[in-house]
Structure 1
Amino acid sequence: MRYKVAPPPRSLVFLERARGAIPLVPGDEADCCRAIQQETDVGDRETAQAYLVFLRALGLVAESDRGYYRTKRDFEPEQAAEAFRRSVFGVDALVDAFADGSLDPDDAFDALREDIPRWERERHADWEVVWRERTENLLEWAVEFGLAEKTAGEYVARRE
């Protein structure tokens, strides 16, 4: 399953704090969003919900029929980075595009453009604005997860 969520980029410390706010015992979405807001500086429920889904995509939070809950495994940045690449829509295409050289945000959007599903294009009045923002967020998350480096407004594959 690929998640299309790409909340505003934050630090790995932020993700760990947001994850820590989620209970081990399943809770409903509203309670989990409120917990994220109380534990972090996220001000609105919509953004908290985006981080909740993002945490799920990273395997740091799971969902059952009773609600969301924190997984018992430790927060490992390398595992989160691999889940980011595997589970978040568009990341693999961006990482593959880095292999061809550096990308600016416009190049990155062009690399994703054809893969964006038609229904996603039709559900937003100006889908390009929405997806350009998501693409920039994905690029910044790729930097945070160590998959890319940013230099002079362009992104390149991280050098080992």
Structure 2
Amino acid sequence: MKFKPVPPAPEKFAYVERVQQAVPLVPGTEDDCCARLVDRLDLPSRDAARTWLTFLRALELAEETPSGYRRTDREPTVSACRETLLNRVFAAEAVHETLAEAGPLTAAEAFDRVRERVPAWERHRDAEWTDTWRERVTRLLDWLVLLDVTERVERDGATRYRLT
């Protein structure tokens, strides 16, 4: 199963640990978990918290049980999160492959190279799908930087991403 929501990448990986710790050990409803994340992390909204909760599921740092959501006992590490991001987050592997084939690329160039992989139903569901997916690709690139897969380089006055 692939997960779509991708929150903005934090500046430091330690924030991922902090988010995981904000998820309860004892399962709680989605609303309870989101309220807890908003309170403990000063997130701007429950939607932002819901995105983080889903993203933590993708990274196998939280799980949905019949009783609700809870954090897993999996320790957040850069290497484990790198692997789960590439395997379980929709389009992460495509962005990575694009950089391997044609990098270094700007976020816009990376989007142009993966746009054909965006499912047709996504394109029909949202009239502004290109803006949504440009943002998603940029966020994925930033996560790849945080997880030591890529690095940002300045070239020709533009920020580009390349594999490390």
- The normalised TM-score by structure 2 is 0.92
Residue aligning to 1:133: 135
The correspondence for 1:157, drawn from 154, 157, 163, is 163
Moved over 2 A (4+): none
Is the CA contact (8 Å cut-off) linking 2:150 and 2:161 kept in structure 1?
Answer: yes
Tell me the distance in 2 between the aligned counterparts of 1:91 and 1:120: 16
Residue aligning to 1:19: 20
Secondary structure at the aligned position of 2:53 is classed as helix
Tell me the distance in 2 between the aligned counterparts of 1:138 and 1:96: 12
Is the CA contact (8 Å cut-off) linking 2:3 and 2:89 kept in structure 1?
Answer: yes
Number of residues paired by the alignment?
158
User: Percentage identity across aligned positions?
Assistant: 39
Tell me the distance in 1 between the aligned counterparts of 2:140 and 2:76: 20
CA deviation after TM superposition for structure 1 residue 29, in Å: 0.5
Q: Deviation per CA, 1:28-68: give whole Å up to 9, x if none.
A: 11111111111212121111100110011000001112111
CA deviation after TM superposition for structure 1 residue 120, in Å: 1.1
CA deviation after TM superposition for structure 1 residue 111, in Å: 2.1
Residue aligning to 2:29: 28
The amino acid across from 2:24 in the alignment is P
Residue aligning to 2:114: 112
- In structure 1, runs of 5+ residues without a counterpart are none
Is the CA contact (8 Å cut-off) linking 1:14 and 1:40 kept in structure 2?
Answer: no
CA deviation after TM superposition for structure 1 residue 112, in Å: 1.6
- The normalised TM-score by structure 1 is 0.94
Tell me the distance in 1 between the aligned counterparts of 2:114 and 2:3: 15
Tell me the distance in 1 between the aligned counterparts of 2:146 and 2:98: 18
Is the CA contact (8 Å cut-off) linking 2:20 and 2:56 kept in structure 1?
Answer: yes
- In structure 2, runs of 5+ residues without a counterpart are none
The amino acid across from 1:127 in the alignment is W
Tell me the distance in 1 between the aligned counterparts of 2:99 and 2:68: 37
RMSD of aligned alpha carbons: 1.1
CA deviation after TM superposition for structure 1 residue 24, in Å: 1.3
Residue aligning to 1:6: 6
Secondary structure at the aligned position of 2:73 is classed as coil
